[in-house]
Amino acid sequence: MTTINQYAMQDPRTQYPQPKFDKQPQSAPGLAQDMDPKPDHGEDSYKGFGRLAGRKALITGADSGIGRAVAIAYGREGADVALSYLPSEEKDAQEVVALLRAAGVKAVALPGDISDEAFSSGLVREAHSSLGGLDILVNVAGKQTAVKEIADLTTEQFEATFRTNVTAMFWLCKAAIPLMKPGATIINTTSIQGYQPSPTLLDYASTKAAIIAFTKALAKQVIEKGIRVNAVAPGPFWTPLQPSGGQPADAIPEFGSKTPIGRPGQPAECAPIYVLLGSQESSYVTAEIYGVTGGNHLP
């Protein structure tokens, strides 16, 4: 992908590639390096301004997609980062580690499966120990597999989607909060699917609705500790989640075309919202859901 100057005034409709795309199926969870066009995570475009200098962050799903873009942005804003991802995503993750170290911050790679309770709890402790603290928890990792009919949606998939998207978030937040100081923040990742569910994403959309309620309830609970909790609700974003089963294969060529902007979002376009919510600039913001949807509005 040609490097985009995110800071130059331009037409957002043509700022990044528009449909049509190739079908390009992948096995789950997918790799960013195998996508065409390759997603922009801010590798060459994101510039930092020191807004997270000295912060310690744990980011799940940090190997690719939105999680990767957030990790790159956080590192360039001065934060040390612990990266959580599946072992099968090691190739993508090591690219992120190299980018963070080039930015002069600490990068700790912590592969494993967050759908396992023992791993999730240990992940938070290891991130806290390795970074020397934990100021920001960013929950991005998620499972999404399109299924046309409820008759074909297995109990195994339904439970695995909830375990990855909702239960793991609960475990991570529960383990992190006792380690956090006033001023710390938690940022969850929901979706426009939590408000406008697609018929093929019955289980996934249900988890994203649950994340909205979880975020708002937890925010009201922990503000008495000086901890803020918010969530970002992306629309259609060009990430490995989509061609690796997150969308029906026939939907990939026109993916994102039904947004008012007319194209899918790139991960680099979402990262600045996570930076804002992780920084002191958003000190009066908690229990909020920030939409990044290409014009398909949230309620």
Residues taking part in catalysis: 204
Report CA-CA distances (Å) from 216 to 169, 187, 213, 231: 14, 11, 5, 9
**β-bridge mates for residue 80, sequence order:** 56
Q: Residue 201: name the closest of 260, 127, 251 by CA.
A: 251
| DSSP state letters, 182-245 | TT-EEEEE--GGGTS--GGGHHHHHHHHHHHHHHHHHHHHHGGGT-EEEEEEE-SB-STTIIII
| DSSP state letters, 86-136 | -GGGHHHHHHHHHHHHHTTS-EEEEES-TTSHHHHHHHHHHHHHHHT---E
DSSP 41: -
Cα 96 from Cα 102, distance rounded (Å): 10
**β-bridge mates for residue 108, sequence order:** 82
